[in-house]
Structure 1
Amino acid sequence: MHEMAIAEGILDIVLDYAARNQATKVTKIQLLLGEMSGVETDALQFCFEALSKKTLAEGTNLTLHRVPLMGHCKDCDATTQIERYRFLCPHCDSANLEIVSGRELQVEFLEVE
């Protein structure tokens, strides 16, 4: 279950930020989570909740902001959402797509007291 390792990484980032800013409580964490990140959101929530017990992040509102899988066609210059992992431009059928979003897995912001 790689969600446990991801949750550990998120918690490390959050607690490091809280310590550097002398926070007493972490109240909100928002993650950018790309469609292609491969993360099971329920498992991530569960792991984070378990790991954050007895830390400044215990009981924190962990919000996930989903980022769609988007591609930019280098042939026709169209940017479009990639559906069902079909990596062909829907405008010109080119396979010359560059992924521009959808692989994100990062802490977008957090709120502390």
Structure 2
Amino acid sequence: MHEMSIVEALMEQITKMAQEQNWEAVTRVRLKVGAMRQIVPDILVFCFNVASKGTIMEGAILEMEEVPLRVKCEGCGHIWNDKEFLGLCPECGSIDVNVLGGMELELTNLEVEVKHAKAREH
């Protein structure tokens, strides 16, 4: 289950940001996930909910935007979306193709609560 290792890396990144920025809590986490990452959204959410217990991310909502696979043939210029990429252009049969999208795994947005600075006493 590679979803747990993804969640662990994500939480490590967010925890570091939270410490640097003095966040009290993270309430929402948004990700872009490419179709080629083969992530099962329900499993990723489950792993996030389990791993976030007792952290500043506990109770946060994890949202994912799936990015479809987009491929371009360098031979004929054809661009297509395909869930089952076979490595060949469906127009000309060329193997000279490039993946334009669908490999993403990006943290795109966080909603956080910021700690209030304590008033200084003179």
Alignment RMSD, CA only? Answer: 1.4
Aligned to 1:4: 4
Counterpart residue number, 2:116: none
TM-score by length of 2: 0.84
Q: Which residue of 1 aligns with 2:117?
A: none
* 1:91 CA drift (Å): 3.1
Amino acid at match of 2:26: V
Q: 1:39 offset after TM fit, Å?
A: 1.4
Match of 1:84 in 2: 84
User: How far apart in 2 are the matches of 1:72 and 1:109?
Assistant: 29
Counterpart of 1:58 in 2: which secondary structure? coil
The total of aligned residue pairs comes to 113
1:1-113 to 2 correspondence within 5 Å? 1-113=1-113
Once residues 98 and 21 of structure 1 are traced to their aligned partners in structure 2, the CA distance between those partners, rounded to angstroms, is 38
Relative to the length of structure 1, the TM-score reads 0.90
SS of the equivalent of 2:37 reads coil
Aligned-partner Cα distance in 2 for 1:83–1:48: 26
Aligned-pair identity in percent equals 35
Letter of the structure 2 residue corresponding to residue 16 of structure 1: K
Partner Cα distance (1:83, 1:17) in 2: 34
Residues in 1 aligned to 2:109 and 2:93: alpha-carbon distance in whole angstroms: 37
- Counterpart amino acid of residue 8 in structure 1: E
- Residues of 2 paired with 1:110 and 1:28: CA distance? 6
